[in-house]
Amino acid sequence: MNSEFLQDKEIIVASNRGPVVFKKDASRDEIELIRGAGGIVGSMIPFLQKTHGTWVSSAIGECDHHMNNRYDGKVPIPLENPEYYVQFIKTEEDVYNNFNGKFANPLLWFIHHSMWNSPYSPCADDEMHQAWDSYKYVNSMFAKAIGEDVSKSEKTPIVMLQDYHIYLTPKMIRKQHPDVLMSQFVHIPFPSPEIFQQLPNHMQVEILESVLTNNVLGFHIRRYMDNFLRTVKQILPTASVDHVSGDILYKGQICHVRTYPISIDIETLQKHGKDSTVMSKMKEVDEIVGNCKLIYRTDRADLSKNIIRGFQAYDMFLDKYPEWREKVKFVATLMPSRQDIKIYREYTDNIKNIVETINQKYATADWEPIKYICRGDYDLVVALLKRYDVLLVNPILDGMNIVAKEGTILNENNGVLVLSTGAGCYEELKDGAICINPYDIRQTAESLDMALLMDDKSKSLLLNEAKAAIRRNDLNKWVSDQLRDIEAVIYERQEIKSKDGEEAVRMN
């Protein structure tokens, strides 16, 4: 990307969850700002700051709504001496629940992760069709807010939409602003056409027609991009799809479909790994693990993460290799997720049950086979990532999986990554890991044994290979590659214009 490119631009980011949340600090009766964690926030903020841009997102609580009103829809961050702005979209609670709790999650999420139990679900009943109406409505609220920002902008706006919550927003924006530069990035896998077709027909068409109005559409890896191209070809037969470049011509507009594998901020992460807060957690880890070897996993307790098969594999491992009993400890830090949705509550219960079963089956007076920690303590996670002997990352499907990258960078124990072929980062990290089929618990059990028995030299080779793969890419590149491709759209337009101009001259 040309470094001067951003000088006359304004970046407008939009996503369901924003970069900050406002909460009431009960002790001081003041509203305080809590910054969100995660890769997208970290990578987008510098570009927002450079352009004094705006991040549009759903209001999560009353405080967000309150701040939004107080600052007339443009909350400056920081409040004094603002570097960028946030704008919260407030929707009625039941509409938001339909939009997010019924349509985006679990319906769209499950479809993207090929996780529906097809003989029984999903089922497009009236409730689902109504949830679609709410999804459309919230998407239109996003489009309206972004459209107004675009209209008001004194610079050239670049709209960067995030993820599947707002699939219908781009077409609504495009209708008002035919020339706006717009991209969307899909942070989760994209399924094959057969699975995408679990959606009612008109929803399939409306989603695809909308995302194709983006100038640039990004996926993490080629596999997801290929699924998307095939899905478009199947559902919109008049689309002209270039399966090599990823360019799609549909209804007179070109959408450039590309891959941008997201990464981590290596320096910030390494710095965090040396924080005193993490160092004190290292002691806690020592107490938990003792002299045992440490198998570790950390996940949001989502069904796509394959937590239960991971534990079943550990059960089989202790059964098949009794020599490891009392010499190994499985620590799992798992954050319960989406507990308002029944299938998630059931999944959390099933996790608890299998942990108990394993502990009852193998525990001795001095040894607990698994420790399951359920609290949001990122310093503890970092300490465990520094310490593991084996990191188990076995998702069924996973957009990228940042944990595998974080663990590889942080680990100081010559640890081995056991990695599922279903993880997005499998493409990058496969030569630096023991790779497993996520459905094969026998292979997973054998891989745990293999990883623990591996000699130091082999372990270093793997770890260095994985580290090198991560260093080839970085988080800044993820955004700047997208901006580079948006910049190319401007040149493309200028070329067309100048050709049209030549043509006009000749015609005269």
Q: Which residues bind a second copy (CB under 8 A)?
A: 113-120, 122-126, 129, 191-192, 194-195, 197-201, 303-304, 306, 308-309, 312, 316, 347, 396-397, 421, 437, 439-443
Q: Which residues pair with 89 in a beta bridge?
A: 58
Q: In angstroms, what CA-CA distances link 72 with 69, 88, 109, 388?
A: 5, 10, 33, 48
* Of 85 and 110, CB closest to a second copy: 110
**Whose Cβ is closer to a second copy: residue 33's or residue 124's?**
124
How near is the Cβ of 441 to a second copy at its closest, in Å?
6
- Sheet with 390-393, edge to edge strand ranges: 370-373, 328-335, 293-300, 390-393, 416-420, 434-436
How far apart are CB 204 and a second copy at their closest, in Å?
Answer: 9
- Closer by beta carbon to a second copy, 118 or else 464: 118
- Specify the residue, 155 or 430, whose C-beta has the smaller distance to a second copy: 430
Minimum gap (Å) between residue 351 Cβ and a second copy: 11
We find the least distance from the C-beta atom of residue 193 to a second copy, in angstroms, to be 8
Question: What are the backbone angles phi and psi of residue 30, rounded to the nearest 5°?
Answer: -125, 155
Residue with Cβ nearer a second copy (176 or 421): 421
Q: What angle do CA 298, 303, 305 make, to 5 degrees?
A: 35
Q: Considering the complex, what minimum distance in angstroms separates the CB of residue 340 from a second copy?
A: 18
d(CA 187, CA 445) in angstroms, rounded, equals 30
Report, in angstroms and rounded to the nearest whole number, the Rg of the chain calculated over CA atoms: 24
Q: Which residues contact 271 (CB under 8 A, 6 or more apart)?
A: none
Q: Given the complex with a second copy, which of 113 and 256 has the nearer CB atom?
A: 113
Phi and psi at residue 263, to the nearest 5°: -135, -160
To a second copy, the closest distance from the beta carbon of 385 in angstroms equals 25
* Least spacing, CB of residue 334 vs a second copy, in Å: 14
**Choice between 120 and 491, CB closer to a second copy:** 120
* DSSP state for residue 398 in the 8-state scheme: B
Q: Are strands 216-219 and 253-259 parallel, antiparallel or unpaired?
A: parallel
What's the distance, CA 406 to chain centroid? 14
Cβ–Cβ under 8 Å, residues 169 and 161: yes
**Please, which residue, 119 or 178, has the CB nearer to a second copy?**
119
How many residues can be counted in the chain?
Answer: 508
Q: How far is the CB of 429 from a second copy (least distance, A)?
A: 18
Cα separations in angstroms, 324 against 80, 218, 236, 291, 411: 57, 44, 55, 12, 22
Residue among 35 and 129 whose Cβ is closer to a second copy: 129
To the nearest whole angstrom, how small is the minimum distance from the Cβ of residue 356 to a second copy?
18
Q: How far apart are the first and last CA of the chain?
A: 38
Measured CA to CA, the distance from residue 41 to residue 395 in angstroms comes to 23
